[in-house]
Amino acid sequence: MARWTIPFLALISLCAATSCSSYRALKPATNSTCQLSDTHRLPQGQYVMQIDIFNKHISGLMLFKETPTGTRAVFTNEMGFKFFDFEFGKDSARTVFILPRMNKKLIVQTFQNDLGMVAAPRKQGGTLQGKEGTVLRSKLNDKDFLYHYTGADCNTLTRIERGGKAKRKVIATIENDAQGQPNKAIIKHKMFNFKIKLTKVEEEAN
Amino acid sequence: MQKLASLVPSMRQAILIHIIAAMKKTAFILLLSILAYTSQAQRPGFTYIKDDAAVRQKLSAGSKAINAIKADFTQEKELSMLSEKIVSKGAFFFKKENKVRLEYKTPFKYLMVINGSKVLIKDDTKSTKYDTHSNKIFKQVNDLIISSVQGTILNSPDFKVKIYESSGQYLLEMVPVAKGLKEFFSGINILIDKKDYSVSRLEMVELSGDKTTISFSNKELNGKVDDTLFSTN
């Protein structure tokens, strides 16, 4: 049996047993006025970004900045060296710059999907109701949707998930500051051991 | 078909691991640059020194006289396509022959320690250790750091160097010619104080046009610097 097979099967089993549960329990919400807004994503600013994949760990700084054409996401290491610069629109992502040795389709897609999930502006979609309150669903592409768990008041973002109509693929757990603004996100993939943690940096008053 | 589908996560993992390793190497190369070089190109007030043999000798002798450094630093990252500056601050320590500590304090915590061939990188959640002998690029970088400390960096074949001077400073304008560095930087400029031959400012220009400037202040040369600061355990 190939070396990767056993851990991969274990991951699949774990997925089947726990997290990959269904969205089928979510029902269309009636009389809800809850809509996706800018409070349902990480606000612009500097974040410490930590990436873990198996026993590999790397950190750096992520800058999210709103521009007239979209949301820019620039990742540098702590010493200022830029790795990539993406721009997110409501239904697109483009690469402004990426270090040539990182310019692989899977890498670009993974980072764009994950960062876009928590920081990109989104189009309105459907409003669903579940045990955890209101869930805003917006179409991402032909296969996937984003599910924003916005709490009973519609303003408290607690989680964003990416998945199909039935299964979860990626989960972003959101934490909010004292003012209720999202300031931390932990993005975890369900199908392989990959985690991104974003923590907002408190900027110094000059 | 099922086999092919199940391979996709493995392929993704493999590529991501490769990229993360590459990112770490880049971070290390950047640290080398901080130690090895500095300055500002074509700056008004500076004159190009065509015959620089005497200056090279002075710089080499001057750096040999520095056994330890304590300093504060301010790092400014300018993003070329966004009118945005990212500023961070911290403390820098050096001790001969080959010990370096770069400690970011605000607005985030990050530590990089080099002690001989050992490297420690620590953020607020994890510590990672390396041995530069285990990796060719790390080894090259380590050699460069040591040569900079020993004052032989100006003879490095990895850069084309032009030297400029003003009344109080030397400016080393360094263009990478080595394959690894060339992939990341279009130029590295180092500003050196004439009074003590210490680096006062480092400017790294990336291929994308972004610029990172590190300015050193409150420098204390040849004072007591505790060895425990360079522990990689």
Domains in chain A, number: 1
pLDDT given for residue A8 in this prediction? 43
Residue A3: inside a domain: no
Residue A34: inside a domain: yes
What does the pLDDT average to over B81-110?
89
Residue A13: inside a domain: no
CA distance A25 to B23: 42
Per CB-CB distance under 8 Å, the chain B contacts of A85 are: 79, 81, 208
Say yes or no to pLDDT of B51 above 80.
yes
Residue A8: inside a domain: no
Say yes or no to pLDDT of B227 above 70.
yes
Which of B12, B35, B127, B181 should we substitute to test contact with A (largest number of A Cβ atoms within 10 Å)? Answer: B12
**Angle made by CA atoms B156, B159, B161, in degrees to the nearest 5:** 95
What does the pLDDT average to over B72-98?
89
Task: Looking at mean pLDDT, say which of A154-158, A186-190, B60-64, B204-208 comes out highest.
Answer: A186-190
Among residues B86, B233, B4, the alpha carbon closest in space to that of A77 is found at: B86
Give every CB contact of residue B55 below 8 A, 6+ residues apart in sequence.
B49, B163, B165, B170
Among residues B110, B104, B101, B70, the alpha carbon closest in space to that of B87 is found at: B104
Say yes or no to pLDDT of A49 above 90.
yes
**More confident site: A8 or A181:** A181
CATH number for the domain spanning A112: value is: 2.50.20
pLDDT given for residue B207 in this prediction? 85
DSSP class per residue in B52-96:
-HHHHHHHHHHHHT--EEEEEEEEEEEETTTTEEEEEEEEEEEET
Tell me the nearest-neighbour CA distance from A21 into chain B, angstroms: 20
Beta carbons of A79 and B19 less than 8 Å apart:
no
Taking the alpha carbons of A29, A33, A37, A40 in that order, is the dihedral positive or negative?
Answer: negative
**Per-residue tokens: A206:** 């000059």
Q: pLDDT by residue (tens digit) across B114-157?
A: 898 888 989 888 898 888 777 655 665 555 555 555 556 677 78
Q: pLDDT by residue (tens digit) across A162-178?
A: 998 888 999 999 999 99
Among A8, A60, A102, beta carbon nearest to B6: A8
Among residues B77, B100, B102, B106, the alpha carbon closest in space to that of B91 is found at: B102
Residue A5: inside a domain: no
Q: Are A70 and A87 in contact (CB under 8 A)?
A: yes
Query: Binning pLDDT at 50, 70 and 90, where does residue A25 land?
Result: confident
Residue A205: inside a domain: no
Orientation angle between helical segments B136-149 and B2-36, nearest 10 degrees: 10
**More confident site: B11 or B56:** B56
Q: pLDDT by residue (tens digit) across A109-130?
A: 999 999 999 999 888 888 988 8
Among B15, B82, B84, beta carbon nearest to A107: B15
- The β-bridge partners of B149 are none
Residue A17 one-letter amino acid: A
Query: Binning pLDDT at 50, 70 and 90, where does residue B105 land?
Result: very high
What residues make up the domain containing A160?
22-200
**Domain locations along chain B:** 33-223
**More confident site: A1 or A21:** A21
Residue A83: inside a domain: yes
Among residues B189, B163, B187, B157, the alpha carbon closest in space to that of B175 is found at: B187
DSSP class per residue in B23-43:
HHHHHHHHHHHHHH----TT-
**More confident site: B159 or A16:** B159
Mean per-residue pLDDT over chain B, rounded? 80
Query: Binning pLDDT at 50, 70 and 90, where does residue A17 land?
Result: very low
What does the pLDDT average to over A28-57?
88
Beta carbons of B30 and A81 less than 8 Å apart:
yes
Instruction: Give me the count of residues in chain B.
Output: 233
Per CB-CB distance under 8 Å, the chain A contacts of B184 are: 81, 99
Residue A185: inside a domain: yes
**More confident site: B12 or B61:** B61
Beta carbons of B79 and A74 less than 8 Å apart:
yes
Overall fold of domain B33-223: outer membrane lipoprotein receptor (LolB), chain A (2.50.20)
CA distance B182 to B130: 24
Share of chain B above pLDDT 70, in %: 73
